[in-house]
Copies of this chain bind each other. A is one copy, B any other.
Amino acid sequence: MNIHNFYAGPAILPKQVFQKSADAILNFNDSGLSILEISHRSKDFVEVMEKTNSMVKELLSVPEDYEVLFLTGGASSQFYMTSMNLLNNDDTAAFVDTGTWSTKAIKEAKHFGNIEVIASSADTGYTTIPTIDGETKDFKFVHITTNNTIYGTQYANIPSVNAPLIGDMSSDIFSRPLDVSKFDLIYAGAQKNLGPAGVTLVIVKKDILGKVDRDIPTMLDYNTHIKKGSSFNTPPVFPIFVSMLSLEWLKENGGVAGAEKRNLEKSSLLYKAIDDNDLFNTPVQGADRSKMNVVFKLNDDGLEDAFLAAAASANCVGVKGHRSVGGFRASIYNAMEKASVEALANVINDFKG
C-alpha cells in the first residue's frame, strides 16, 4: 500500500531513510548495538554528529564564519533564544508579521527587548508576503519567516536589509539554494525537510554572539553549544542520525538545486490542477505562493467532506487545512515524489462536487 503523505510536519521523509533508520535500530554500524542505546560520546556517534554538521555546511555552502548547531525545543524555543542572546532590554528588533508563526516569534521576543513590526500581511489575511519599506539600519536585527506553513505563503526572494537578518526557515530550508551570508542567524525545526521531530537546526554567524549584558543560563547560550559541538549535554541522538540520512539522500539527489527543480515542478502541477477546476480557489496568488505548502479551498464549504473522502480513496492523507484557516493544505516537502503529487492532482482534476 503506497500512502501519499501530505502532513505539514512531522512530515514525509525519503523511503531509504526509513529503511536505514530501522536497520540502525536493530544493529548500528555492525556494532551489535542499537543506535538507541549507544553513548553520545562513542566514536560511532561522534562521527554521525560531525557528518551531519559537515553535510549541512556543504549542502548550503555555509560560510566559514558561521557555526551549525543541533539543539532541541523546536523553532518555538528559538523564538525566545534569539532575542535572549541578541537583544538588550533597551534594544529594538524589527519583525515582519506573516502569520501565526511570526506572531508567536514576536510575542516571545518581547520578553527581552523592544519589538517593532515593520511590515505585515495581516490586512490581506496573511495571503501575501509584505514588502519591507523604509530604513532598517537602526534595528538590532530583522526577523522573517521565510515560508508560512499555515497560510501557504513563501518569500520568492530573501529581502535585503541593513541590519542582521534572522530567518525562521523551519518549513523551507533545504528546499532551494540559499545564500546563507544574507542572514546572521537561521533556525529550523527539523520535522519538514530535514528529519523527524526532536532536533532543531541553528546556523549562526559567530561574531553576533556574546554581546548582550543579560545573564543567560548555560543551556540557553548559543556559545555553550558552539564550544561543545552541540554535545554540551546529551543531544537527541536518533533525530540527528535520521537527519544525517536525509541529508545524504538530498546530496545523492542533486542537493538543494535538485530539490528546487523538483519542488517547482511538483508545486506547479498542483497549483495548475486547482486553478483549472472552477470548484476550487487558492487564497494565495503569484510569486507569494509557497512551493512547500499548497493551500486551497472549495468555493462551496459544504463539499469539503466529499473532497476529503475522494482524497482518502486515492490514499492521500494529511490534506485537511490547519484548524485555524480550514480548507485544504497539501504539504509537498523535498521527500514527496512527483507521483504522489500527481495522485492528488488527479483527485482535484476529477472532483465534480
Binding site for B on A (CB under 8 A): 1-3, 5, 7-13, 17-19, 21-23, 25-26, 31-34, 36-40, 42, 72-77, 79-80, 84, 104, 107-108, 111, 189, 191, 196-199, 215-220, 232-239, 242, 315, 317-318
Contact = CB atoms under 8 A, between A and B. Distances in A.
Given A108-B219, A215-B111, A238-B197, A12 B37 contact: yes
Contact of A10 (B22, B39, B216, B218): B39
A236 B32 contact: no
Given A10-B234, A108-B219, A18 B3 contact: no
B8 A39 contact: yes
Q: State the oligomeric state as a number of copies.
A: 2
Contact of A3 (B9, B26, B31, B73): B31
A16 B238 CA distance: 18
A80 B10 contact: no
Given A80-B218, A104-B218, 4 more contacts: A10-B37, A39-B318, A40-B197, A236-B239
Contacts of A239: 198, 236, 238-239
A7 B39 contact: yes
A32 B72 contact: no
Contacts of A1: 32
Nearest to A72: B72
Contacts of A34: 13, 18
A198 B237 contact: yes
A186 to B, nearest CB: 18
A76 B233 contact: yes
Contact of A196 (B31, B215, B238): B238
Given A74-B233, A236-B236, A32 B3 contact: yes
Given A12-B37, A111-B215, A218-B108, A234 B7 contact: no
A72 B198 contact: yes
